Structures are given as C-alpha cells and as structure tokens.
Structure 1
Amino acid sequence: MASHQQDLVSRPQPSGLCDSRLFQMKDHCNDSFTVMNQLRKDKQLCDITFRIGSQTFLAHRVILASASPYLRAMFTCGMKESSQEEIELRGIEARAMDFLIDYAYTGEVMITTDNVQDLLPAAGILQLKELKEACCSFLGDHMDVTNCLGIKQFADLHSCPKLLRQANRFTVMKFIEVIQNDEFLQLPHVVLKEILENDHLHVDTEVQVFRAFLSWVNHDVEQRTQNAFELLDLIRIPLIPKNFWTDAFQQEPLFKQSQACHAYIKGYLMGLNNDTLPKKTRTPVKTIYTIGGRNCQRCLSSCERYIAEEDRWEELPPMKQVRTAVAAGAVDGKLYAVGGECETKFAHEGTLYLTSVEYFDPIHNAWVAAPSMKLQRSFTAVAVLNNKIYAVGGETTSLCYKSVECYDPRQKVWITIPDMQIARSGAGACGINGKLYVIGGQDRAIHHSTVECYDPNDNTWRLVANMHHARSGVATVVYENHIYAIGGRDRHRQAYYDVVERYDPKTNTWEAFQSLTHPRAWPSACMFKGDIYVTGGYDGQYRLKTVERFDKVEKKWKSVADMCEFRAGCGTAVL
C-alpha cells in the first residue's frame, strides 16, 4: 500500500497543474470565535474569573489577551495575577465589563446613551483603543448646548484629547446658548476660569461674558464669592462702557460682598488701573471657509470650514441661496458670498444669474442678507482691499463684463468704479500694496493672459506684464509680496492646468512656480497660517473635494483632508 501511495504522488503531473495547493477554511476565525464565545456562555473551558463587587465574569485568558494589551501584560509578564484563577478588577463598572468581555469575543458592542459613560473609562483601562475612540465619537455626535460642558470635563478626566478639543470648540462657538443651561451654573470655578480666559468666545459684546460670570456667582454667592475676584480679573473691563460699570457697581450685590471685586471696579472707575487691564477683543478662531460651487449633480448652498488641529472639515449652516461660480471675501469678521449662478426651478427657464450677496456671521452661526450688486455677476472675481469688497467682471448669458463694483460694509452700498480695459469672466483678483490686480479670465472669444492693475488713488486701470499661460477659472493669493495664479483652463486648447505662476509687482515679471499635484480649473485658494491652500476645482473629468497645501519648508504641494463635498466654482476665504 505504501509503495502504491508513493507512486500516486511521484508520477508525472498533468501539464499546468501545480504540485501544491493552499486550502483555506472559509470564515474560520469568525466561526472559531463564535464557538469560543458559546463555550464561555456555557462556562466550559474557562480559565479566568473576574470579580467586580458581587458579580463574577468567566472567560478564556487567551481571548482576552488577544483583545486587550492591558490584560495581555497582566497574564504574561509575571504579575501575580498571571497565576490567579480569580482576579478582582477596580475602576470598571460591572455592566461595562459584561459588554467588554462580549466585545473581546465578537468585536462588536452596542454603544448607547445609557452605557457610553461606563464603556469609555473601562475601554481606557483595558487599553481598547478603537472602542475608546468609538465612544468618543459617539459622545461628539451627541454633543449639544445642554451637555457640552459635562462632556468637556468627562473628556479631560479620561484623557480624550480629541473629544476635549471638540467640546472646547463647541463651547466657544455656542457660548451664548451654553450659559443659559443649568450645566453652566454647576461648573467648578477652575473650568469657568479656563473658559473666561479664551480669546475666541463667540460673543457680541464683553457685557455678555460679564453677565455669564455674574449668573455663575449668584447661583451660590456664599461659596463662590471667594473665587469671584480671580474670575472678574478675566473680564475685559475696558471693552464695557463705563456707565454700565457705574450701574453694576451700585446695584450688584457682588460688589458689596467681595471687598476685592469692590476695590477692583472702584479703582477702574477712578482711573487708577486702566493701563494694566486687558483690552484685547474676543474674536473667533481664524480658519478656512469654503462655500457653494457645483458637484456632479447640482449647484450647492452648503458651507464648510477647516479644523486645522484635527485636519478635517466640518459642515456649517448653508447659504440662503444656492450658488455656483460664486466668489468669497472676508471683511470685518464676516464671510461674504458674492453673486454666482444657479439652476432655475424649470429647465426651460435656463440659468439664474445672481445680483444677491449674503454674509456668514460666525458669532451667531448664521447667514444674513446683504445689499445686492447692481448687475448680475457669475464667475465674478472678488478681492478685498482697504476693507472694501471689489466684484470684478463676470458674466451673464449674453456677455462678459468690463465693469467693476465696490462695496463698503460700513456704508452698506455698492458703487461702480471705472471699467477695466478688457472684459473678463472667471478671472482671479487680489489686493497687494494698496492696489487691485485682476488676472486672466475669458470673454467668450479668447482666454486671457493679460493682467490689469487698479490704483484707488488715481482711480485708473493699467495693463501690467502678461502671465505665461492664458487661462480662466484661475485662483489667486498673495504670499510673501508676490501674486500667485493657480490652476485654470483654456477652453480652446481643452487644457486643464496644474500650472502655478507668481508675479512680482516690484519687477513687473512672472515666473513659474511648483505645479499642483492635480489639474484644477475653477478652484478657490487662500492663505492660512502662512501657507497657500487650494480647494476643489474641476480636472476635465471630475469635480474635486481634494485640498492641497504648499509646504514652504519642503517646497512642494501636499494633500490635506478632503472637504465634505465635491466642489468646482466654489469660493474660499479665511475668517
């Protein structure tokens, strides 16, 4: 029989047939863990018992060691628990342990509002990193103005830095709503101190910050008066009118109960300490905002901003008006959306070209209508110069414009200034050295390489040096005293550009710069924290959600987090 078997394996094999074959059992791991979990439930072959209070939990060491680095070290590194049949665990709730053991066998756990506060600390103790992160994400998704302060303290207690940053940012952005909830009144004074120190609270006036402080003190005057002066010192006293302080000094019980607070405000009213008081206005944290545009299906009203410390984008309230081919600019702490176009309700009505303008107020997290332009402008170029918004060129169905309008947010009115020498749609625009530059664009007949410069002092336009590449759909930024022209297209050549050029106003010359990693027509661009960022665009096939940043140290373009939405013809500004 042996020689027969030897003959079977040694005889010549058919052509093309391998002399070995790997067999894999389908779903082996899942089936094995299912069997082992059933053995645990049936209390068979278990070799470890955990005790939490009066409850015990049976399991298999090897399964728990494979899931938890903490337990693996306990069982294998010579600790006394490695030889114990029963181990008492502290710091973990019994109901959480039941979930965690089941998680070790199945890789699944149902996170709920009832169990997340038990699961997260237990997952941290057992070093179940992915589960802890899932619990943090769950809490972040359920954050609102009634619980953000509790989540903030919970995240701090259990070393969840990402969740803590999210809670801090939420509290700062929603401060006016947060302080109206009981959770605010229960804060420890050290937590309130951290909040009042923040330069970026979203408030209209410093009076709102003082009233929040006062409501916290008055909630438990006897206990909190001792901490009142330390907190009052964080209020930006000079930003509040003196007549307000005169009334508060006379009427508020705090200034009678706290000698330190009494002396502090009295000294201010007498002008004794005014030079040493903090006068910095609280302003929202600056970041990149991107608005509107078009994806592969529709025009967009959506808005999102970049969370730099987490390299991600978050969605914001949408604009009141759907807009693609929209331009954006930031003035006086507001993000303006200017013009653009959108689909009409019925296809036979064609495209609606917009005169309308609106702005986003980050303090109130809302869009507000602003005065409309005189003309409908799609693919207009927008630049901010001397705290005024310039809307340059653009188009409607029948023509491209030479005309330019200027908006002063203080006067709340659009005025016309002299026309450019050349009609331009889809141009880029920026302000530098007190002058307005308009770059490229197209007038239906040709794509331009020409560049014009407007000097507000003499109210005239003049042509300066041409770019090397004629293009429309070009984005522009100012960086280190140069103008950068980024991406774009030439319709007549069917070219979509990754090209970047830069212009030196001193020498009136253009030179090539490092190309983008990807062609982009109708992207948007901005300067943020000293770097150039380019968002979205169209590469000839697809509308993009990708974002690039120029690394000035390594001198190359790098990808950062994708936007939430695919966008071409979008607007971007830093606010």
Structure 2
Amino acid sequence: MDVTNEVHSNDVLRELNGLRERAELTDVVLEVDGRSFPCHRAVLASCSPYFRGMFTSGYAEAKQERISIQDVSEVAMATILDYAYTGCLQTEPDQVQAVMSAARLLQVDFVGRKAAEYMKDHLDVFNCADVLMYADMLGDCGLVEASERYIASRLNQVVLQPSFLQLSLPLLQSLLNRDDLMTKSEDDVVQAALRWIDSDQEERSQHLPALCKSLRLSLISSKKHVTIKSKCLSVDSNLVYSDSTTQRLGQVRTEMQIFLQADYVDNDSQPCYDPSTGELYAINMPGNLDSFSVTVTPEDELYLAGGVLATARHIVIRRDTDPGMMADIVQKKFYQYNHLFNTWEPRCEMTSPRVRCGLVYLKGYIYAIGGDKDETAERYDPSRDQWTSIPPLPHPMPSDFCAVTLDDSIYVIRKEGCYRFSSTESTWNKMADMLKPPLSPQAVTHQGCIYCIDCDKEWRDSSRTCVEMYNPADGVWKQTGNGKSFIFNNATLMKHKGTLYLFTVHTFGDHGRQNLWEPSKQSSVSVHRYQPETDSWMSLEDKGRLVPPLKWLGSENRTDCLMSRMIPTFLGDWSADEDLPVVEMSADEEEESDNTFSDSSGSGTTDDSEDDLSDQDTSDEDNSDEDSQSGSDDGEI
C-alpha cells in the first residue's frame, strides 16, 4: 500500500503549535526583551540554521534550558516563532524592518526574503531614504537598488524629507550618479546636493568637491554654477565636475496625448499617443475603476481620484440618489503616477467618495471639487500627503461640469451656471455664464483665457456649436472664430506645443444611425487650429500625426485629451488588435455628410484654407510653458 495523507503536515504543525501555546513538552525557553517564549528545540532547529548550530554544537546553549537572545525585539521573535509553528507570516507594516533583521540573524531565509519583497513593494516618498540606509547597513544589494531607483523616480519630493538629509556621502553620491533621475533639469540635482550640505554646513562643506564629481557641468545653469562656487570653503578651490553630457531621464520626456474615454470598457490601460512619431503606447491604469478624474501638474506629475468600481458598472450612478449606491460603489481612492514604473501609487484617500469630480492642480496643491452627494470640495498637499476641506460649492451640480485653473483661481463651468474659487481668499463667487449653457462642457486654459466647448451630442442633435472664450480681464464669454460653429458627434479641445487645437468627430452608420461596431460605420476626424492673433479657427487638411489611430475615438462616448511629458521607454505597448485606424472620409464625402444634418442655429463663418503643421513657427514651442508658469493647468479632466 502506498497512500499519502495530504493534511498530515498541517495537522502536525497545528498540534505542535498547540503544545507550544500550552507549554507542553517544550524543552527550551527563549528570553527576549524580558519575555519568555517556551519552544521545542526540534522545531527551531528544523527552520533555522542558527538554532540548529546552537543546539548541535558543544556550546553551553546546547544544554541550557533558558537562552537569552540579543539584538532581536520581542515582536520580531513572536512573529518568527509564529511562522516556524504555522508556516504563516503576518506582521504589522511598522515591524517589517525589525522582523527582517531578526530573520537575517536567525537565518530564517523565507521570512527575510518576504520582508525585503514587502519593503520593495511598499516604498514611498516618506520611507524610501530610510529603507535605503537600512538596506545598505544589511548589505542587501537588491533592496539597495530598489530603494535608489524609487528615490530616482521621485527625487524632487524625496529631497524635502528629513530622512534624505541623513544619507551618508557614499549613498548620496551613488544617487546623484544615476542616469534615471526624474528631474526637469540638472539644477534640481544640484539643489539636492546643496540641501544635503546646508543641513550641516560645518561638517559637510568639505564634501562639496566630492559631490561636484556627480554633477554634470554642461547641463548646469550659470546661476546655479555661481551658487556652487559660493559654497566653496576656499575661493581658490578648483572644483572638478562630471564630464558626462548625458541628460537625466526626466529631462528627455516627450509631450504626449493621453486619451481618456468616459466609461471605457477596458480600463486596465489607456492609450498614450506621441504625435511626433505617430506611435501609440499604453499607460497602465488602476484596475477595477471607471469614471475617475485625472489631472497633470506643470511638473508632469499625474494624479487620479475617485471613480466607480468596475464590478458595479451596471448600476446607474446619479448625484440625486440616497448616499447610503454610493458608499459601496463610489471610491475615495487617490493615486499618483510613477513614470519610471508605469504604475499608480496609492496616496492618502480623499475625505469623501467622488465620481467624475473636478480634479485640478493650482500652485502646489491638488483640488477635488464635487462629484459627491453634498458637492463638497477638498485640497491635497503633496508634501504632507494630506487632504483638508475647503468651502463647498455654492449650489448643487446635477449635470456634467468641468473645472480649470487660471492665475490663483479655480473656474467651475456647468449648465446651471459658472463659479470661481479664489485660492487666496478661499471663497466662491458667481461668474458670468456661458452664452449657450453646456450639457457636457470641456475646457482648457490658453494664453490667459479659458476656452470651452459643449463636447458631447446626442446622436440626433444637428445643432452647430461654437467654442466660447472667457477672459477674466473683462469677465465675459464670447464666441471664438468670429462665431464659427461646428457640427460633430463629439469634440475635444487639446493643446500641443503651445498651440490650441479642436478635434471634431462625425460618426456615420447605415441610415445615419451611429453604431460603433457596425461594419459600415465611418468616422471622420477633423482638426482645427486656433489662431489667437486673428481669432480664427483654421481647418487643417494635412492633420500630420495629430490624430491617433484609435477606433473608439469616433464613438459616441465623450473623450478627453490630457497632455503630459511622458517616457516612451517605460510605457506599455498598445496592441494593434485593440484599435484600428479611424476611417477618414474624402472632402466630397465629408461635405455630403454635413448636408445630412440640418443647420438649426445658422452656420458661422468658415475657413477652408489649406494648411499643414509644417508652417507652425517656433514661437509656439517657445511659449509652451506660458500657462503653467501663471498657475494654470491645461490637463484638467
């Protein structure tokens, strides 16, 4: 007979653990921090070479009934003994380092390995420098590299943490030598080095020459170079810099379009498009979420808030329902994107669950507005990872709305009316309403003004729509393009290299019905470029690579376009099977399709001049950062 009892090993462990808890048949007591742990020598020796050597050697401990264990905390020993007797490893996050140290001392490899993996998976801005110093002390090369790489991905935030100032000179040098630092300029690297020195000038000023060897002279601004010289102990010092001319990873990012579609079915990733090369990439998204909100900062940091659990997609979310669909469905989750890892890292949750809230960046803070039952608002401080409440919206917002920032204010636009929040005064004020109340507004800021369009249409809606502009200087809305209007199924405003564009989409199926999956469906994407000097919209016959080859770009669902400087190398591949090129219509076909709609509002002026992207002068690129410097954010969704 050859039979195996599959549960025998578990039964034996369970019985041994019971004996330990009752202190039956135990033959040794471990004394740790004043606490006694009755144990069985055979169990300890079976999972720990440290104890096996102790109990089988000629040392005195081999025969002692009570053994004192040094350099191990009571909690860590309890955790390791629980693992030895059950095979399960459980510990609180703040005890992981202590458990890992104990596991290394006692040579319990599985526990040490899993503790290191946990620390790698839970690195954040606030603990990464501490973990780096700890890993360096233990000589754990894998954890050292993981910690350094994480710090590289968030250098500008990590340098503000007190633990960064505790790094040793060799660790700091190793960091500053990395090519994958996510910084906008070499000046940020210089600032990190100087902050470390300034924290203890008397002791650390002598290390400036050593740190300069990690700084890339050709990439440092003249102003920062003067600052470095001023920190020298001797005016005659001849500082030697790195001769590397390689830009850090954060300095070679590419401006891309991130397309986010409302209620997109597969939200594990979203398309990210590089107009300069025509390449499509995939930006990973948090799983199981729909109807979330995203914003981008002038530093190209991406934040994502709220949303609805994908498992509850079949449930209709309404803002006027009992808040008792919502506690289980709408999320308080809040994430920050890591460009180096193409992942979203959890941050402090919002105080209220929100769906499609107005998420904007303004002068160092992230604001989440509305999207909950009570139309509350709150502000996030990235330096503290903390949310605080701000005054709620003056009136409920049952319809779709959008929020943008300009100067020191947040502007909320909706069908029921528009409001402005002053961040300096922390008050809401009524502002002028749009000329035509929008059902689904989408807006961007450009050259000190707000541009807004009612971007989504019912499939039988044949009305023409204008892009409206709001100038805070005179406090009124006006139609742009001398009243030029557009017919479309959906539209998207987008900025690229300092220029404002409008995408308009026509979708046609049999008998004029829209159906995304009909074989006979055709989608026509038109691109219009705004020329502020003449207040006109130029229709581009040569769209260049501005239009991505996305099949669902022509669907009836609203699409928003967020602009951010990304790193193509670390993005995923957008599968060719997921999307096909949009079927473009000829000029004759497009003109014919326009005639299938009635013009109930009267046509505006048109501009059919031929144009292509090659005549866009370099002044657009020179002004690309103009809005971000004034505190505005064109990436709000």
- TM-score normalised by structure 2 residue count: 0.48
* Deviation by residue 1:99-145 (Cα, 9 ceiling, x = unmatched): 422432254655475x5443212324634545754576479879665
Residue 192 (structure 1) aligns with: 172
1:228 aligns with 2:208: yes
Q: Are the aligned partners of 1:342 and 1:351 in contact in 2 as well (CA < 8 Å)?
A: no
Q: Please state how far the C-alpha of 1:175 moved relative to its aligned partner.
A: 3.6
Question: 1:37 corresponds to which residue?
Answer: 20
1:451 equivalent in alignment to 2:524: yes
Kindly indicate whether residue 230 of structure 2 is the aligned counterpart of residue 164 of structure 1. no
Matched-pair identity in %: 16
Aligned equivalent of 2:72, options 93, 102, 123: 93
Give the CA deviation at 1:215.
Answer: 4.9
Which of the residues 108, 111, 118 maps onto 2:98? 118
Select 1:403's aligned residue among 466, 473, 489. 466
Letter in 1 for 2:151: N
From 354, 357, 362, give the equivalent of 2:404.
357
The partner residue of 1:105 within 82, 85, 103 is 85
Residue identity matched to 1:416: T
- Contact 1:202–1:284 (CA<8 Å) still a contact in 2? no
Offset from partner CA, 1:310-352 (integer Å, 9 cap, x none): 675223578999985679999xx99999999776659x96615
Query: Cα 1:416–1:305, aligned 2, differ >3 Å: closer, same or farther?
Result: farther
Q: Which amino acid aligns with 1:35?
A: G
* Distance (Å, rounded) in 1 between the aligned partners of 2:493 and 2:570: 15
Q: Which residue identity is paired with 2:550?
A: Y
| Distance of aligned partners of 1:460 and 1:525 in 2 relative to their CA distance in 1, 3 Å threshold | closer
State the AA in 2 paired with 1:454: V
Seen in structure 2, the aligned counterparts of structure 1 residues 529 and 33 have a Cα distance that, compared at 3 Å, is farther
Query: In the TM superposition, what is the alpha-carbon distance from 1:357 to its structure 2 partner?
Result: 0.6
Residues 489-535 of structure 1, C-alpha deviation per residue, up to 9 Å, x if partnerless? 76xxxxxxxxxxxxxxxxxxxxxxxxxxxxxx6687889765999xx
SS of the counterpart of 2:465? coil
Q: Is the 8 A contact 1:155 1:163 kept in 2?
A: no
Whole-Å separation in 2 of the counterparts to 1:326 and 1:441: 28
CA 1:90–1:351: 2 relative to 1, 3 Å: same
Partner-residue secondary structure (3-state), 2:550 = strand
Q: Are residue 484 (structure 1) and residue 462 (structure 2) matched?
A: no
In 2 relative to 1, CA 130–55 (structure 1 residues): closer, same or farther, beyond 3 Å?
Answer: closer
CA distance in 1, matches of 2:41, 2:78: 15
Please show how residues 324-473 of structure 1 align to structure 2 within 5 Å: 345=375, 351-354=398-401, 356-358=403-405, 369=409, 375=434, 377=438, 379-380=440-441, 392-394=453-455, 402-404=465-467, 416-417=480-481, 419-425=484-490, 427=491, 436-440=502-506, 447=514, 450-456=523-529, 459-461=537-539
Residues 337 and 130 of structure 1: CA distance in aligned 2, closer, same or farther (over 3 Å): same
The answer to whether the 8 A contact 2:152-2:181 is kept is: no
Listed one character per residue, the Cα deviations across residues 35-71 of structure 1 (whole Å, up to 9, x for unaligned) are: 23236x45x254x8989999997744653477x4x64
For structure 2, list consecutive stretches of 5 or more residues without a partner in the other structure: 255-282, 285-301, 309-316, 318-324, 376-392, 414-432, 516-521, 580-633
How far is the alpha carbon of 1:293 from its aligned partner? 6.7
For the residue of structure 2 that corresponds to 1:259, the secondary structure is: coil
CA drift at 1:217: 3.6
- Residues 308 and 139 of structure 1, relative CA distance in 2, 3 Å threshold: closer
SS in 1 for 2:455: coil
SS in 1 for 2:574: strand
1:6 match: none
CA contact (8 A) 1:210 1:235 kept: yes
Cα distance between partner residues in 2 of 1:405 and 1:49: 79
2:43–2:85 Cα contact (<8 Å) kept: yes
State the shift of 1:186 in Å: 3.6
User: Per the alignment, in what secondary structure is the counterpart of residue 356 of structure 1?
Assistant: strand
- Counterpart residue number, 2:622: none
SS in 2 for 1:483: coil
1:254 is aligned to 233
Contact between 1:336 and 1:358, CA under 8 Å: does it hold in 2?
no
The whole-number CA distance in structure 2 between the counterparts of 1:229 and 1:31 is: 61
Q: Which amino acid aligns with 2:466?
A: S
Change (3 A) 1:111 1:153: same
Find the aligned partners of 2:252 and 2:635 in 1 and give their Cα distance. 14
2:401 aligned partner, one-letter code: L
How far, CA to CA, are the matches of 1:218 and 1:290 in structure 2?
32
- Go from structure 1 to structure 2 and tell me whether the alpha carbon gap of 1:419 and 1:201 turns closer, same or farther (over 3 Å shift): farther
Aligned length: 440
Q: Identify which of 122, 137, 157 aligns with 1:174.
A: 157
In structure 2, distance between residues paired with 1:369 and 1:402: 27
Q: Deviations over 1:372-420 (max 9, x none)?
A: 677465645679999x9975532599x8872235899xxxx99834645
1:294: how far off?
Answer: 4.3
Task: Give yes or no for contact 1:304–1:314 (8 Å, CA) kept in 2.
Answer: yes
- Kept in 2, the 8 Å contact 1:353–1:396? The answer is no
1:185, 1:216 within 8 Å by CA — same for their partners in 2? yes
Alpha-carbon distance between aligned partners in 1 of 2:484 and 2:252, rounded to the nearest angstrom: 36
Provide the C-alpha distance between the structure 1 equivalents of 2:226 and 2:569, rounded to a whole number of angstroms.
47
Match of 1:18 in 2: none
Higher relative contact order (CA 8 A, sep 6+): 2
**What amino acid is aligned across from residue 404 of structure 1 in structure 2?**
V
Give the whole-Å Cα distance in 2 for the aligned partners of 1:303 and 1:284.
Answer: 27
Corresponding residue of 2:429: none
> Cα 1:98–1:255, aligned 2, differ >3 Å: closer, same or farther?
same
Change (3 A) 1:222 1:354: closer
Superposed displacement of residue 354, structure 1: 3.1
TM superposition shift of 1:223: 6.1
Rate the CA distance shift 1:89–1:153 in 2: closer, same or farther, 3 A: farther
* Change in 2 beyond 3 A, CA 1:337/1:84: same
CA distance in 2 between partners of 1:246 and 1:127 (Å): 53
CA distance in 1, matches of 2:505, 2:120: 47
* CA drift at 1:228: 1.9
Tell whether the 8 Å contact from 2:402 to 2:412 is kept in structure 1 after alignment. yes
Rg (Cα) greater in structure: 1
Could you tell me which residue of structure 1 aligns to residue 590 of structure 2? none
Q: CA deviation at 1:94?
A: 6.8
Aligned residue for 1:565? Answer: none
User: Per-residue displacement from partner, 1:178-212 (whole Å, max 9, x unpaired)?
Assistant: 2xx3x444422122223434567687986665455
For the 8 Å contact 2:205–2:232, the answer to whether it is kept is no
Q: Which amino acid aligns with 1:313?
A: W
Residues 273-314 of structure 1: CA deviation (Å, up to 9, x unaligned): 9x9877769659897646457425457786534447667522
State the match for 2:344 in structure 1. Answer: 313
In 2, the alpha carbon distance for the partners of 1:338 and 1:53 equals 48
1:484 Cα deviation from its structure 2 partner? 0.6
**Equivalent residue runs for 1:282-293 within 5 Å:** 289=302, 291=304
Residues 329 and 49 of structure 1: CA distance in aligned 2, closer, same or farther (over 3 Å): closer
